[in-house]
Amino acid sequence: MDTEATAARIADGDRRALARAITLVESGREDHRAQAIELLEALKRLKRQAIRIGLSGTPGVGKSTFIEAFGCSLTGRGLKVAVLAVDPSSARSGGSILGDKTRMERLSREPGAFIRPSPAQSQLGGVARRSREAIALCEAAGFDVVLIETVGVGQSETVVAEMSDLFVLLLAPAGGDELQGVKRGIMEMADLILVNKADGDLKPAATRTCADYSGALKLLRKRPQDPEGFPKAMLVSALEEEGLEKAWDEMQFLIKWRKENGFLDTIRAEQARYWFREEVRQGLLRQLETGAAKAVMERLGTEVARGEITASQAARTALARIADR
């Protein structure tokens, strides 16, 4: 691969070059990894930035419909929108369940939109790195907004929040008791809660749910990176395309405020540092899966399982062997 030429094509907004570059960062091959890093370093010089919006919602809240409607409203304003997916479950389910273009037909036909499904990878660590690097590629390709969607399971929300400028939680109208269904930790990550399906029969329930969450958000400790009134809960209807512009206005306001008050840069710097550390950690642990270290781990593991040696003694021995190699 000619790094400079590829970088130039991506910078020119060439979709095919962008798609191939994302495939490159998804690859596990060592030579691909070296190329990917070289490409990312080259593109970094452009210093292009998009608004990175993390979006989480459990199945059934209307995530695809929302992204389709919200994405089209942004392209309608002349903005270029990329949609990426962080889906740790895709390996298990045997295929991507997020970022599926057939679920967002209208948006996928928009010239200003780029949709990339989640790759089939088992490790959340791998998915995270790929997503982080795909965001950087989309920014270099000149997108104004990068939407990173995930399902509300396990650790994937934390992963997405750690690579977003703002984190949106999409919810469906619920019965009065269901407030507890959203874990406190997830609530604390949200900058904006959008209660979807505020239409037809569900409107009263949506209004009530939104009021419940507004109340709950007020009880959270105020974070320095929030202007007055944030985090905030709002009603939207993806189906009737209502509330989408207002939601976008709020997002822009929040980003602008954070930029002016220095928080946007600080948050991105801390996120970059976090991912650097995470990647080193993952890299260190990967050495246990290969070569001499793997053999040591297997042999000692068997001795531990047989009860011939304590786990503590075996761990000490293994660490000494790995350090000596």
Helical H segments across the chain, by residue range: 3-11, 15-26, 30-44, 63-76, 90-93, 105-109, 124-140, 156-161, 184-189, 203-218, 244-260, 263-286, 291-305, 311-324
Three-class secondary structure of residue 99 per DSSP = coil
One of 12, 41, 105, 260 touching its own copies (CB under 8 A):
41
**Could you say whether residue 179 binds its own copies (CB under 8 A)?**
no
**Could you say whether residue 297 binds its own copies (CB under 8 A)?**
yes
**Could you say whether residue 59 binds its own copies (CB under 8 A)?**
no
Nearer to its own copies, 109 or 292 (CB): 292
**Could you say whether residue 295 binds its own copies (CB under 8 A)?**
no
* Phi and psi at residue 13, to the nearest 5°: 85, 20
For residues 303 and 297, give the distance between their C-alpha atoms in angstroms, rounded to a whole number: 10
**Could you say whether residue 291 binds its own copies (CB under 8 A)?**
no
Distance in Å, CB of 78 to its own copies, minimum:
28
26 touches 130 (CB < 8 A): yes
Strand order in the sheet with 51-56: 113-116, 81-86, 145-150, 51-56, 166-171, 192-195, 232-235
Compute how many residues bind its own copies; rule: CB under 8 A: 49
For residues 250 and 244, give the distance between their C-alpha atoms in angstroms, rounded to a whole number: 10
* Phi and psi at residue 298, to the nearest 5°: -70, -45
**Could you say whether residue 292 binds its own copies (CB under 8 A)?**
no
- Within residues 242-281, the interface with its own copies by CB under 8 A covers 269-270, 272-273, 275-277, 279-281
174 touches 63 (CB < 8 A): no
| C-alpha 31 chain-centroid distance | 26
**Could you say whether residue 116 binds its own copies (CB under 8 A)?**
no
One of 283, 291, 292, 299 touching its own copies (CB under 8 A):
283
Nearer to its own copies, 18 or 24 (CB): 24
Nearer to its own copies, 31 or 177 (CB): 177
**Could you say whether residue 220 binds its own copies (CB under 8 A)?**
no
**Could you say whether residue 28 binds its own copies (CB under 8 A)?**
no
One of 18, 136, 140, 160 touching its own copies (CB under 8 A):
136
Distance in Å, CB of 287 to its own copies, minimum:
8
One of 29, 44, 246, 299 touching its own copies (CB under 8 A):
44
For residues 174 and 185, give the distance between their C-alpha atoms in angstroms, rounded to a whole number: 19
DSSP state of 242: B
**Could you say whether residue 158 binds its own copies (CB under 8 A)?**
no
Give contact residues for its own copies (rule: CB under 8 A): 33, 36-37, 40-41, 44, 129, 132-133, 136, 175, 177-178, 180-181, 269-270, 272-273, 275-277, 279-281, 283-285, 287-288, 297, 300-302, 304-307, 309-316, 318-319, 322
